[in-house]
RNA sequence: GCGCCCGUAGCUCAACUGGAUAGAGCAUCGGCCUUCUAAGCCGGCGGUUAAAGGUUCGAGUCCUUUCGGGCGUGCCA
């Protein structure tokens, strides 16, 4: 109908003309025109069978790009908390999908490891007497930061020491840098621990934090100066860009250097962008941060293009999302009003999952149950986030995501476990099943086969829109149809040709689930 | 004040970017385990898509206004 509009032809007439040609002959013998010009195509079972036997799950892109994906990027003054979850989970999933499609992904973890907060921390650690105390003091980042902040507030001599420490950091004073490095090392171990538990791909090699760009900041100012973009206003160095105005006509500034000479995150982000386009040679740079930074990125991209921090052809995208709320729609906080730690959230989810597994999977031993609980918990947390399209806030409710019914990760994982169980019972190696023996016959097989062939299309849509929820919805739909097939079509207890065909459908479903959930960073247990 | 995002079943969310009778899950009510895992399957109930107007063959989707919520709006990130 869109074609009809474009060609200014009656859509029904156009549909008829299309049907009259034989382009659909190999695909369907049952084509009908309906309504204002829809073409209903019922795919033939023969077409489905041969496609499943010959088409790969994923065909790599014919236009591979170098794509920088900026995600997670926590401030490491404190432990990772709930505010870091979405960026981490969403960014990781998108980068997995891009890789699967054949792009070169350069993950970048732009951690907050520089600035005033670290002055406090360094000064505080500096006050701890021995190295022994330093090491023990570093064990809990959270407490260290809180202690440093409290002391900063009530001890004025400590406060001035902290401010000195900031200056010493900026001038790379060896003793100060040494303490700072110790703290960063502990922070990075903490990050690795969390990423390990959550099965996030980020490694130490992907970390390129704010501190790495500290020395490049004066050059950023210079570059803006030579481009004639730098304007002093109330003592601060600013860039004013067309289009960013207030109601009264006054222009919104992007402040790149404070009146006291200090730099801001705009400045750091410009330096970072230069690195990503020049050194990393990015065709695209994708940022995954919460929605509060929308204006920042709009200005950043505008200035970057104008002052050539990024080439005109480099695609810069900010993908925003809302914050995480509790079941009552309020910001998720602990009883004491803090952001819940990620490690606590994960632990809660695992306890919740373990209780369910204890009840449902008594046929498995303790070790297996514990491992399954882990995969279920992590899957549930990630899936609850990824399956929603919302750019606004979303509710984090363990009871909902762990209900293990309906559109949740455990439902999908369970379907995969059932397929594995069929293979195990039949003494069959699932990886050796030949898909060219698939002969689609039963209506339930037909419906399943149609879904099995859609994987590529869904992957492309998810990548184009940078939205994982299309993949989630697809996998759920696939699983619903697999389960119907499972109910209606015995696999092992049927005659041999049909058995081979149905084993093929099972094997292909298992692959779609494994690879699809893999795109989401969710693993598939063989047993549940 | 101004800007951005959002408002779909009691609740949590979809709807292929303007297409058919707006779909799922949860909750609720009823049915299905002597056959591969019942963490399952089948069915019922549930809607003036916040409201009003407009654009056209056609609007949850686009435009205007109103109401309601979230976030941002010069030296934090």
ipTM comes to 0.96
Cα–Cα distance for residue pair A286/A95, rounded to 1 Å: 10
Average pLDDT for A330-356: 89
pLDDT in tens, A401-444: 777 678 999 999 999 999 999 999 999 999 999 999 999 999 99
Q: Give the pLDDT confidence score for residue A495 in this predicted structure.
A: 93
Distance of C1' in B68 from CA in A504, Å:
53
Question: Residue A145: its pLDDT value, please?
Answer: 84
Please say if the pLDDT value at position A235 is more than 80: yes
pLDDT at residue A513 tops 90: yes
Q: How confident is the model at residue A242 (pLDDT cuts 50, 70, 90)?
A: confident
Between A145-149, A318-322, A366-370, A474-478, the lowest mean confidence (pLDDT) is in: A145-149
Note whether residue A477 is domain-resident. Answer: no
Please tell me the total count of domains within chain A. Answer: 2
**A459 CB neighbour count, 10 Å cutoff:** 23
When mean pLDDT is compared over A140-154, A250-264, A278-292, A323-337, the highest value belongs to A278-292
Distance CA A28, CA A16 (A): 15
Give the confidence band of A136 by pLDDT, cuts at 50, 70, 90.
low
Secondary structure (3-state) at A36: coil
Q: How confident is the model at residue A133 (pLDDT cuts 50, 70, 90)?
A: low
pLDDT at A130: 64
Q: What does the alpha-carbon distance between residue A357 and residue A431 come to, in Å, rounded to a whole number? A: 27
Helix H, strand E, coil C: the string for A455-497 is HHHHHHHHHHHCCCHHHHHHHHHHHHHHHHHHHHCCCCCCCHH
Report the alpha-carbon distance of residue A491 to residue A296 in Å, rounded.
Answer: 56
Please state, in angstroms and rounded to a whole number, the distance separating the CA atoms of residues A528 and A485. 20
Decide which of A165, A193, A208 is a domain's last residue. Answer: A208
Between the CA of residue A14 and those of A27, A40, A254, A353, A525, what are the distances in Å? 19, 14, 53, 55, 49
Q: Closest nucleotide to residue A75 (Cα to C1')?
A: B77
* Structure confidence at residue A455 (pLDDT): 97
Residues A11-24 have a mean pLDDT of 82
Fill in the DSSP letter of residue A81. B
Model confidence at A137, pLDDT cuts 50, 70, 90, reads low
Bases along strand B below 7 A from a protein CB:
1-6, 12-20, 24-27, 35-42, 57-58, 69-77
- Write down the pLDDT at residue A9: 75
Domain for residue A84, yes or no? no
Nearest residue (CA) to C1' of B39: A404
Query: Using 50, 70 and 90 to split pLDDT, how confident is the model at A132?
Result: low
pLDDT at residue A451 in the model: 97
Q: Which of A208, A242, A267 is the last residue of a domain?
A: A208
Last residue within a domain, chosen from A208, A235, A255: A208
pLDDT attached to residue A129? 65
| High-pLDDT (> 90) share of chain A, % | 70
Does residue A428 belong to any structural domain of this protein? no
Is residue A386 a contact partner of residue A472, using CB atoms and an 8 Å limit?
Answer: yes
Nucleotide of closest approach to A267 (CA, C1'): B77
Strands A30-34 and A324-325: unpaired
What is the C-alpha to C-alpha distance for residues A242 and A400, in angstroms, rounded to an integer?
A: 46
Amino acid A144 CA to nucleotide B4 C1' distance, rounded Å: 37
How many C-beta neighbours within 10 Å does residue A35 have? 10
- ∠ CA A455-A101-A506, nearest 5°, is 35
Q: For position A522, what pLDDT does the model report?
A: 98
Interatomic distance A255 CA / B52 C1' (Å): 43
- Average pLDDT of chain A is 92
List pLDDT tens digits, range A378-393: 999 999 999 999 888 8
- A149 or A514, greater pLDDT: A514
Measured CA to CA in angstroms, residue A109 lies from A67, A190, A209, A289 at distances of: 14, 14, 7, 12
Separation of alpha carbons A97 and A519, rounded Å: 5
Query: What is the mean pLDDT of the segment spanning A249-261?
Result: 89
Q: Confidence band (pLDDT; 50, 70, 90) for A89?
A: very high
Which nt has its C1' nearest the CA of A490? B36
**Structural domain includes residue A350:** no
Q: Range with the lowest mean pLDDT among A91-105, A214-228, A301-315, A402-416?
A: A402-416
**Spatial distance from the CA of A322 to the C1' of B65 (Å):** 27
Bridge partners of A287? A70, A318
At A188 the three-state DSSP class reads helix
The backbone torsions φ and ψ at residue A324, rounded to the nearest 5 degrees and listed phi first, read -100, 125
**Axis crossing angle, helix A141-154 with helix A116-127, rounded to the nearest 10:** 90
Distance CA A353, CA A404 (A): 9
Residue A5 pLDDT greater than 80, yes or no: no
Rounded to whole angstroms, how far apart are CA atoms A182 and A434? Answer: 55
A390 close to A209: Cβ distance less than 8 angstroms = no
Going from the C-alpha of A416 to that of each of A27, A283, A431, A506, A514, the distances in angstroms are: 29, 37, 14, 9, 8
Q: Is residue A173 part of a domain?
A: yes
CB A118 within 8 A of CB A131: no
**In-domain check, residue A120:** yes
Q: Two tokens at A57?
A: 């799950």
Task: Find which nucleotide's C1' atom is closest to A237's CA.
Answer: B75
Nucleotide with the nearest C1' to A473 CA:
B14
Kindly state the average pLDDT of the residues A287-294: 95
Torsion angle in degrees (nearest 10) through CA of A72, A302, A293, A181: 40
A25 belongs to a structural domain: yes
3-state SS string for A111-140: CECCCHHHHHHHHHHHHCCCHHHHHHHCCC
The confidence score (pLDDT) of residue A247 equals 65
The more confidently predicted of residues A334 and A267 is A267
pLDDT at A142: 79
Residues with Cβ within 8 Å of A17's Cβ and at least 6 positions away in sequence, in order, are: none
Task: Summarize pLDDT for A182-200 with one digit per residue, the tens.
Answer: 899 999 999 999 999 999 9
Does some domain include residue A248?
A: no
CA A330 to C1' B55 (Å) is 39
Q: What is the pLDDT of residues A37-88, one digit of tens each?
A: 888 889 999 999 999 999 999 999 999 999 999 999 999 988 999 999 999 9
Going by C-beta distance under 8 Å and a sequence separation of 6 or more, which residues neighbour residue A6?
none
Domain around A122: 116-208
In this structure, is the dihedral angle defined by the CA atoms of residues A145, A75, A268 and A274, taken in order, positive or negative?
positive
Check if the beta carbon of residue A410 is closer than 8 Å to that of residue A309: no
């Amino acid at each position: 109908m869109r074609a009809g509009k474009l060609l200014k032809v009656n859509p029904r007439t156009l549909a008829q003309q299309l049907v009259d040609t034989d382009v659909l002959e190999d695909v369907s013998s049952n084509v009908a025109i309906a309504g204002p010009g829809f073409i209903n195509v019922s795919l033939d079972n023969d077409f489905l069978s041969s496609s499943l036997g010959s088409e790969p799950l994923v065909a790599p892109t014919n236009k591979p790009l170098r794509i920088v994906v900026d995600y997670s990027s926590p401030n490491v003054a404190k432990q990772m908390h709930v505010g870091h979850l979405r960026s981490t989970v969403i960014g990781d999933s998108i980068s997995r999908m891009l890789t699967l499609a054949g792009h070169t992904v350069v993950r970048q973890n732009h951690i907050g490891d520089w600035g005033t907060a670290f002055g406090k921390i360094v000064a505080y650690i500096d006050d701890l007497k021995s190295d022994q105390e330093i090491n023990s003091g570093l064990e809990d980042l959270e407490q260290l930061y809180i202690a440093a902040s409290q002391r900063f507030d009530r001890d004025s001599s400590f406060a001035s020491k902290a401010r000195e420490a900031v200056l010493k950091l900026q001038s790379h004073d060896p003793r100060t840098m040494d303490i700072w490095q110790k703290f960063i090392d502990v922070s990075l171990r903490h990050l690795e621990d969390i990423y390990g538990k959550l099965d996030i791909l980020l490694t130490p090699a992907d970390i390129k934090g704010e501190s790495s760009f500290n020395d490049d900041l004066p050059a950023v100012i210079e570059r803006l100066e030579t481009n004639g973009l730098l304007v002093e206003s109330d003592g601060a160095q600013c860039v004013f860009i067309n289009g960013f105005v207030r109601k009264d006509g006054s222009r919104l500034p992007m402040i790149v250097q404070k009146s006291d000479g200090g730099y801001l995150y705009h400045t750091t982000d410009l330096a970072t962008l230069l690195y990503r386009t020049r050194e990393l040679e990015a065709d695209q740079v994708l940022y995954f941060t919460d929605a509060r930074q929308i204006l920042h990125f709009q200005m950043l991209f505008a200035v970057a293009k104008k002052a050539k921090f990024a080439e005109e052809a480099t695609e810069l995208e900010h993908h925003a999302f809302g914050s995480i709320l509790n079941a009552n729609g309020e910001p998720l906080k602990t009883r004491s009003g803090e952001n819940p730690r990620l490690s606590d959230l994960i632990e809660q989810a695992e306890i919740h999952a373990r209780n369910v597994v204890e009840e449902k999977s008594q046929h498995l031993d303790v070790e297996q149950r514990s491992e399954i609980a882990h995969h279920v918990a992590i899957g549930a947390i990630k899936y609850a986030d990824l399956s929603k399209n919302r750019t606004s806030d979303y509710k984090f409710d363990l009871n909902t995501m762990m209900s293990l019914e309906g559109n949740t990760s455990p439902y999908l994982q369970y379907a995969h476990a059932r397929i594995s169980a069929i293979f195990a019972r039949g003494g069959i190696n699932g990886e050796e099943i030949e898909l060219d023996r698939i002969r689609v016959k039963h209506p339930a097989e037909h419906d399943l086969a149609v879904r099995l062939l859609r994987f590529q299309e869904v992957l492309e849509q998810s990548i184009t829109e940078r939205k994982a929820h299309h993949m989630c919805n697809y996998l759920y739909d696939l699983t619903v149809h697999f389960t119907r097939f499972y109910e209606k079509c015995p696999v092992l207890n049927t005659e041999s040709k049909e058995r081979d065909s149905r084993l093929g459908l099972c094997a292909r479903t298992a692959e779609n689930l494994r690879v699809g959930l893999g795109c989401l960073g969710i693993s598939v247990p063989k047993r549940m």
